[in-house]
Amino acid sequence: MAIEREEILPKYWYNIIPDLPKPLPPPRDPPDAEFSRIDLLRKIMPKEVLRQQFTVERFIKIPEEVREAYLNIGRPTPLMRAKRLEEMLNTPAKIYFKFEGATPTGSHKINTALPQAYFAKAEGVNHVVTETGAGQWGTAVALAARMYNMESTIFMVKVSYEQKPQRRTIMELYGGKVYASPTNLTEYGKKVLAENPSHPGSLGVAMSEAIEYALTNNYRYLVGSVLDVAILHQSVIGQEAMKQLDILGEEPDILIGCVGGGSNFGGFAFPFLGAKRGEKFIAVGSYEIPKFSQGDYMYDFPDSAGLLPMVKMITLGKDYVPPPIYAGGLRYHGAAPSLSLLIKEGIVEWREYSEPEIFEAARLFAEAQGIVPAPESAHAIKAVIDEALKAKKNHERKVIVFNLSGHGLLDLPNYESMMKRLLK
């Protein structure tokens, strides 16, 4: 068994950029910039992470130490069949899911937190900083930092900080220092608070604070999504899934994932796209944060303060603030440049589902499979259910594979809130 696990875990990360249908517009500095954001990256990111971001090769070797760390957190994650869900839907389709909730932090985010922390440590960094929304990314960074004996500081979006005390507890248990953003610790945070003292926070604001905080203290910033390097690291998901399907003798037809910044979707789907396996790819976002239906494909800043280089992506604008009562996650204002390009080219389809829809899907999945999904992942589940029902209508034996990006055991306040508001 141990040998099999090591064989399924890939030896390389996969980068889709050389296989995209068109050139990926590069990150760039804004016109008349008073300073170079691209240059600033050198002070923000661990050097090796930056090198991987810009040294675009199809395959990049995973350092043996990082592979060991992956094995240690339980990679490869299981590829499971949702047999009872199929039965409940009475669909001829087969449904499989890659269960990224099986890692200790409960989501896929650890897949990039580990190598980034490893590279930071190897450079002599002793303190890393990041932002987090719901807390999955913050948790992953806090654990990864602990594993490499580094300090971590996490700027957590204020509404989540208040609604998600358990996430905070875990981060603190791992030794992370957690602040509710906007804070008074950074110039940008102060500015946001001066304009609106009850600002609920946003990922864009928290990201800016984390970057500024890293800069002023000469710490390093770890990036959780959006940038190519994060998706590169996540490619372990899709590569494992391909091998696991091979072992089962299955060929996937439809691949589905949810999209916040795009890292779990890209990590899961891009290896399939690159290998030309699968006929339909569906990226699922939230109806309440409607970047696919209402966003523009343009150069925009990943963070609200505009400290990072502009990237070309589908975006609602860097200053977008999501509706505060909405509890379904996927609140980031943009989608990764590579994913945005694939959507614009019609290679990846998108869907948006509302909170009541994903809540219903989450309930059904929990009843069928017993796993409480992360609200983010419930978006993917909703699309899976729709596709399975379509297969039923058309009498097609489709093989649907989706990425269950996280479990929802620490998102129970969200479900509680949804139950209160939606079950009337």
Partner 1 sequence: MSKMLVSYATLGYPKENEYLEFIDGCVKGGSDILEIGVPPKYAKYDGPVIRRSYKQVSSWLKDIWPLLKETRDRVKIPIIILTYLEDWLPVLDDFLSNLAKIGIDGILFPDLIIDYVDDYEKYVKKIKDHGLKAVIFTAPSVPDPMIQRVSKISDIFLYYGVRPTTGVPIPVSVDSLITRIRILVDNKLVVGFGLSDVEDMRKALRAGADGIAIGTAYIEAIEKGGVQEAINLVKYFRGVLNEF
Comparing CB distances to ligand PLP, the nearer of 145 and 374 is 374
Query: Mask of contacts with ligand PLP, 345-384, x by CB under 6 A?
Result: -----------------------------x-xx-------
Comparing CB distances to ligand PLP, the nearer of 121 and 331 is 331
Q: Which does 259 bind (CB under 5 to 8 A by kind): partner 1, ligand PLP, none?
A: ligand PLP
The secondary structure of the chain, three-state, reads CHHHHHHHCCCEEECCHHHCCCCCCCCECCCCCCCCHHHHHHHHCCHHHHHHHHCCCCEEECCHHHHHHHHHCCCCCCEEECHHHHHHHCCCCEEEEEEHHHCCCCECCHHHHHHHHHHHHHCCCCEEEEEECCCHHHHHHHHHHHHCCCEEEEEEEHHHHHHCHHHHHHHHHCCEEEEEECCCCCHHHHHHHHHCCCCCCCHHHHHHHHHHHHHHHCCEECCCCCCHHHHHHHHHHHHHHHHHHHHHCCCCCEEEEECCCCHHHHHHHHHHHHCCCCCEEEEEEECCCCHHHHCEEEEECCCCCCCCCEEEEEECCCCCCCCCCCCCCCCCCEECHHHHHHHHCCCCEEEEECHHHHHHHHHHHHHHHCCCECHHHHHHHHHHHHHHHHHHHCCCCCEEEEEECEECCCCHHHHHHHHHHHCC
The answer to the question of residue 25 lying near partner 1 (CB under 8 A) is: yes
Comparing CB distances to ligand PLP, the nearer of 121 and 221 is 221
The answer to the question of residue 56 lying near partner 1 (CB under 8 A) is: yes
Expressed in angstroms, the distance from the first to the final Cα of the chain is 48
Comparing CB distances to ligand PLP, the nearer of 225 and 417 is 225
Render the burial of 248-286: b for 16+ CB within 10 Å, e for the rest. eeeebbbbbbbbbbbbbbbbbbbbbbbeebbeebbbbbb
The answer to the question of residue 31 lying near partner 1 (CB under 8 A) is: yes
Dihedral (Cα; 325, 326, 332, 335), 10-degree rounding:
-160
Q: Which of 27, 278, 322, 406 binds ligand PLP (CB under 6 A)?
A: 406
The answer to the question of residue 61 lying near partner 1 (CB under 8 A) is: no
The answer to the question of residue 347 lying near partner 1 (CB under 8 A) is: no
Comparing CB distances to partner 1, the nearer of 241 and 310 is 310
Q: Which of 133, 201, 238, 309 binds ligand PLP (CB under 6 A)?
A: 133
The answer to the question of residue 259 lying near ligand PLP (CB under 6 A) is: yes
Q: Which of 252, 267, 278, 309 binds partner 1 (CB under 8 A)?
A: 309
Comparing CB distances to ligand PLP, the nearer of 141 and 147 is 141
The answer to the question of residue 27 lying near partner 1 (CB under 8 A) is: yes
The answer to the question of residue 73 lying near ligand PLP (CB under 6 A) is: no
CB of 126 to partner 1, least distance (A): 20
CB of 32 to partner 1, least distance (A): 8
Comparing CB distances to ligand PLP, the nearer of 66 and 358 is 358
The answer to the question of residue 264 lying near ligand PLP (CB under 6 A) is: yes
Site for ligand PLP in 196-235 (CB under 6 A): 225
Q: Which does 28 bind (CB under 5 to 8 A by kind): ligand PLP, partner 1, none?
A: partner 1
The answer to the question of residue 126 lying near partner 1 (CB under 8 A) is: no
Q: Which of 112, 136, 160, 186 binds ligand PLP (CB under 6 A)?
A: 136
Residues that bind ligand PLP (CB under 6 A): 107, 133-134, 136-137, 225, 258-265, 330, 374, 376-377, 405-406
Residues that bind partner 1 (CB under 8 A): 17-29, 31, 33, 35-36, 38-39, 41-42, 47-48, 50-51, 54-58, 309
